[in-house]
């Protein structure tokens, strides 16, 4: 991995959440069913331990955000991580996963890292 980091100027990776009655990406203006603000934000830890999270310089690009649709069907939310510091990827941990709804299901698809 160190060799790839040394030879690369930038890198990107995608992560897709497949969800059924589950909302993975907490936003500041979202509310729970009890009316309290959601404090849970999805955070991604990179190879060099830096955190990718909403409202930071390392915010992932949200390509698709359908997991907020709660209609009993499968949906997906996709994130793209692009950085000009290649040592930040791959993503090695996903933190502060919100709990799923009753009968909710989820599946995470981690894409390969492309070093450029």
- Residue 79, token pair as written in the block: 């994130």
Which of the listed CATH numbers 3.60.40.10, 3.40.640.10, 3.40.50.300, 2.60.120.1000 matches domain 2-22+40-115? 2.60.120.1000
Q: Where are the domains of the chain?
A: 2-22+40-115
CA distances from 10 to 5, 18, 67, 70 (A): 9, 27, 29, 36
Angle (CA) 108-110-112 rounded to 5° is 170
> How many Å apart are CA 86 and CA 71, to the nearest integer?
39
Beta bridge partners of 115: 11
- Separation CA 66–CA 87 (nearest Å): 30
Say if residue 84's pLDDT is above 90: yes
pLDDT tens column, 36-73: 344 457 899 999 999 999 888 899 999 998 888 888 88
pTM: predicted TM-score of the whole model, two decimal places: 0.79
Phi/psi of residue 86, each to 5°? -60, -20
- Structure tokens given for 40: 């849970």
68 versus 9: which is more confidently predicted?
9
């Amino acid at each position: 991995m160190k060799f790839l980091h040394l030879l690369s100027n930038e890198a990107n990776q995608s992560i897709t959440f497949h969800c059924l009655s589950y909302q993975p990406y907490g936003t500041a203006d979202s509310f729970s069913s009890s009316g309290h603000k959601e404090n849970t934000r999805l955070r991604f830890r990179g190879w060099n331990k830096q955190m990718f999270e909403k409202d930071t310089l390392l915010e992932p690009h949200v390509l698709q955000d359908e997991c907020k649709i709660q209609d009993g069907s499968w949906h997906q939310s996709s994130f793209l991580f692009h950085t000009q510091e290649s040592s930040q990827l791959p993503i090695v941990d996903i933190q502060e996963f919100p709990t799923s709804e009753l009968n909710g299901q989820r599946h995470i698809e981690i894409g390969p890292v492309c070093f450029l």
